[in-house]
Amino acid sequence: MLTIYIDADGCAVRDETYRVADRYGLQVIVVANKVLTIPINPRIAMKTVPGGFDSADDWIAENIDVGDILVTSDLLLADRAIKKKARVIGPKGRELDEENIGNALGGRELSAHLRDLGDKSTGPAAMGKADRSQFLAKLDQMVNAIKKSGR
């Protein structure tokens, strides 16, 4: 069964993900280092992963499967999921895949280097209505593509 994993620590689109998953009757696993409030729904589960900073990421990377969907803004986790043939979407609706993850990781490294040199850039822009709409549309498109492919 197609499962949507949410890298939930700091995820701004959990509610949107629940709506799309409910529309298609999909399983959602919310993964975090602490217990978060989730809707009462038999298809939505909370997985609290104790341990260090990357323990939730490690759990997702170990459990995600071919054709599952991951909602995350963590590029390193996205890369691990893509290598397992999962689909990955960021909170602003950008799909990450084998073709663009290398550039995204390169940009991440460049930004880290610039910060080390003293660059005081502000980081990503805040989520807006257009971002949420883009996320909903892209997630819906991903689910339909996976279902059409027979996964």
Q: Which residue has the higher pLDDT, 113 or 48?
A: 48
Q: What average pLDDT is seen over the chain?
A: 87
Show the domains of the chain with their CATH numbers. Answer: 3-148 (3.40.50)
DSSP state of 3: E
Can you give the pLDDT at residue 40?
A: 95
Mean pLDDT, residues 86-111 taken together: 76
pTM for this prediction: 0.85
Classified as helix, coil or strand, 23 is: helix
**Distance separating alpha carbons of residues 50 and 39, to the nearest angstrom:** 22
Reported as a pLDDT band with limits 50, 70 and 90, residue 137 is very high
